[in-house]
Amino acid sequence: MKHIFVTGGVVSSLGKGLTSAAIGMILERRGLKVSMQKLDPYINVDPGTMSPYQHGEVYVLDDGAETDLDLGHYERYTQARLNRYSNYTTGKIYSEVIARERRGDYLGSTVQVIPHITDAIKDAIRNGVAPGTDVAITEIGGTVGDIESLPFIEAIRQFALDIPVGDVMFVHLTLLPYLRASGEMKTKPTQQSVGKLREIGIQPDVLICRTEQPMTDDMARKISLFCNVRREAVIEERDVEFSIYEVPTMLVKAGLDRIIARRLGLPVEVETDLTDWNRMIEDLRHTTDTCEIAVVGKYTALHDAYKSIYESLAHAGIANGCKVKLRKVRAEDYADGGPALIEGCDGLLIPGGFGERGVEGKIKAIQHARETGLPFFGICLGMQCATIEFARNVLHLEGANTQELDPHSPHPVIHLMPDQANVHEKGGTMRLGACDCDLVPDSLAHRLYGAASIRERHRHRFEYNNEYRARFEAAGFATSGVNPQRDLVEIVELKNHPFFIGVQFHPEFKSKPLHPHPVFDGFVAAALAHSRGAHRGGKPERSRA
Ligand code: GLN
């Protein structure tokens, strides 16, 4: 088994996660089995308690682990099976070491960063490897040179010492800044960040240089010379013009697939087969159809907060042969501005969320979609808001709310799940991970999934209140997915509407570019039908679902 460690230098946000995922994909397309892992240097035990402002979206795995959003890239680009061992933070490593110390496992020794923390990191790396893996890819979060990254970099250096030389390689991602004033790109930051790595004892085998402008051969030679990396292993990864899906293709064109194969002693004469992937990009390039989706949420200013949702919409666009334009609307603005803010949109998506801010705006937007036949898709809090909207405006249950926002609501149509009542710790205590859901025959959900039962990932504490179920159903607000073990309502939909569905789970975590999620697929199909109807000046067509 081989290991690839991916580090980053100069600045953060270079797209290390995406590049690591692309490397995984390239290797799979050469017939290899990969596993993917991320080590994050911050002290939080997991990102589950971090604000989207700090950290972007929290990505949830089947086993309920709340992880870094880069794991989303890994799942979208590769077949790697991820679980709670696929993402470690400094906090998680330290809590394990401290728990061992309290148990007395260290038999009286002084517990130190080296070797105890570094040993725990090495164990974590081994834990992250699934059985049968050919190549294990481990991305180190943060930037080389940060104080908090040091134990991780030290641990991967030691890790390489424990295995044969030909079984490990280091890939370093770096930035070649372009100085507009002098019209040149600079290699010095790259030299310095490689210098930092070499100080610790790691010589990168490959440098992937993120650039805005083309990297000239002269420049690559200079980097090669100063950084002690072979010329052919100094690889340009230029900002993509069109779509992030071009990254794997770009890296293969630059020869990265063969460099890795040669370095790790893997079969070199194999073709990296990206045929279907490249066809997808070409199709996307030539699509002229568009539809526009309004995303009314709390964190619309941040692209990363709803990353998987935006990705899933793009995947559904590919499946429907259209480009999906996004109109990001702050839910609070909608509360004042109203329908004018989403005028011309072909669908409304309300994402998940926590807390009060923006909720009334979301409810108003849903009312508009329900009343005007605008395709609607609500996710988690979005589904809960749709339930509240219907309760207030159709069932006339005054003061209907979720107990999250109004614990004393006279009509708690969304209430705290009973098993959450005595939960006081915040980290990792929600209803998390994949749960079963049986679909009601002939419902929209059933037609979209084409299956009788499904499993989807959850992350919530509150839930549809079954005491109101009969009233909702009688008024046409149907239940179309139910968790069989606990009789929890997981999917709601409106009967007399072109497309109106709310799901308590997070389908965005299971969509891939070549395998779009069925509900996103159906939603975008409905939005496209809406846009065609609108262009003809007529009534929107019913969706193909
Ligand atoms: N805040 C809601 C709950 O805990 C919704 C959670 C979400 O949207 N992920 O139930």
The string of pLDDT tens digits covering residues 134-187 is 999 999 999 999 999 999 999 999 999 999 999 999 999 999 999 999 888 999
115: cis peptide before it, omega within 30°? yes
Averaged pLDDT, 321-326: 95
Pocket test for ligand 1, best of 362, 462, 490, 508 (most atoms within 8 A of CB): 462
Atom of ligand 1 nearest to the CA of 506: 9
Cα(352) to ligand 1 centroid in Å equals: 6
Pocket test for ligand 1, best of 59, 380, 388 (most atoms within 8 A of CB): 380
Cα(381) to ligand 1 centroid in Å equals: 5
Nearest C-alpha to atom 9 of ligand 1 is from which residue?
A: 352
Averaged pLDDT, 342-360: 94
Pocket test for ligand 1, best of 417, 426, 459 (most atoms within 8 A of CB): 459
CB 448 within 8 A of CB 522: yes
Write the CA distances from 485 to 358, 492, 493, integer angstroms.
33, 18, 21
Is the model's pLDDT at 78 over the cut of 50? yes
Cα(353) to ligand 1 centroid in Å equals: 5
Cα(98) to ligand 1 centroid in Å equals: 32
Atom of ligand 1 nearest to the CA of 463: 10
Query: Does pTM surpass 0.85?
Result: yes
User: What is the strand order of the sheet 290-297 is part of?
Assistant: 323-330, 290-297, 347-350, 376-379, 500-503, 488-494, 477-483, 431-439, 453-460
Decide the pairing of beta strands 431-439 and 477-483: antiparallel
pLDDT, one tens digit per residue, over 243-262 is 889 999 999 999 999 999 99
Atom of ligand 1 nearest to the CA of 355: 1
Q: For residue 542, what pLDDT band results from cuts at 50, 70 and 90?
A: very low
* Rounded distance between C-alpha atoms, residue 365 and residue 375, angstroms: 12
* Rounded distance between C-alpha atoms, residue 35 and residue 3, angstroms: 10
Is the model's pLDDT at 488 over the cut of 80? yes
- Residue-wise DSSP of 31-64: T--EEEEEEE-SSSSSGGGS-HHHH-PPEEPTT-
Selecting among 435, 490, 508, 530, the annotated active-site residue is 508
Binding pocket residue ranges, ligand 1, CB within 6 Å: 352-354, 380-381, 404, 459-462
Selecting among 380, 385, 435, 437, the annotated active-site residue is 380
So what's the pLDDT on residue 183?
A: 86
Cα(231) to ligand 1 centroid in Å equals: 50
Q: Is 216 left (phi over 0), alpha (psi -120 to 50) or beta?
A: beta
Buried b or exposed e, range 90-102, using 16+ CB within 10 angstroms: bbbbbebbeeeee
Cα(63) to ligand 1 centroid in Å equals: 18
Is the model's pLDDT at 535 over the cut of 70? no
For residue 506, indicate whether it is catalytic: yes
Is the model's pLDDT at 541 over the cut of 70? no
Is the model's pLDDT at 288 over the cut of 70? yes
DSSP state of 310: H
Strand-pairing partners, residue 457, are 434
pLDDT, one tens digit per residue, over 97-114 is 999 999 999 999 999 999
For residue 343, indicate whether it is catalytic: no
Atom of ligand 1 nearest to the CA of 380: 8
Q: For residue 240, what pLDDT band results from cuts at 50, 70 and 90?
A: confident
So what's the pLDDT on residue 259?
A: 97
Atom of ligand 1 nearest to the CA of 382: 8
Nearest C-alpha to atom 3 of ligand 1 is from which residue?
A: 460
The share of the chain scoring above pLDDT 90, in percent, equals: 87
Cα(407) to ligand 1 centroid in Å equals: 15
Q: Which residue has the higher pLDDT, 386 or 50?
A: 386
340: tokens are: 């004018």
Cα(504) to ligand 1 centroid in Å equals: 8
Nearest C-alpha to atom 6 of ligand 1 is from which residue?
A: 460
264: tokens are: 């790790």
CB 35 within 8 A of CB 74: no
* Rounded distance between C-alpha atoms, residue 470 and residue 363, angstroms: 22
Atom of ligand 1 nearest to the CA of 352: 8
pLDDT, one tens digit per residue, over 12-33 is 888 999 999 999 999 999 999 9
Q: How far is CA 371 from the centre of its chain?
A: 32
Selecting among 415, 506, 517, 530, the annotated active-site residue is 506
So what's the pLDDT on residue 537?
A: 54
Averaged pLDDT, 129-136: 96
So what's the pLDDT on residue 203?
A: 97
Is the model's pLDDT at 70 over the cut of 70? yes
Q: Which residue has the higher pLDDT, 471 or 299?
A: 471
So what's the pLDDT on residue 294?
A: 97
Rg (CA), the chain: 25
Pocket test for ligand 1, best of 58, 306, 308, 354 (most atoms within 8 A of CB): 354
CB 241 within 8 A of CB 212: no
Cα(354) to ligand 1 centroid in Å equals: 5
Nearest C-alpha to atom 1 of ligand 1 is from which residue?
A: 354
CB 12 within 8 A of CB 201: no
For residue 380, indicate whether it is catalytic: yes
Atom of ligand 1 nearest to the CA of 354: 1
Write the CA distances from 448 to 6, 322, 480, 503, integer angstroms.
39, 19, 11, 13
Q: For residue 52, what pLDDT band results from cuts at 50, 70 and 90?
A: confident
So what's the pLDDT on residue 533?
A: 85
3-state DSSP call for residue 5?
A: strand
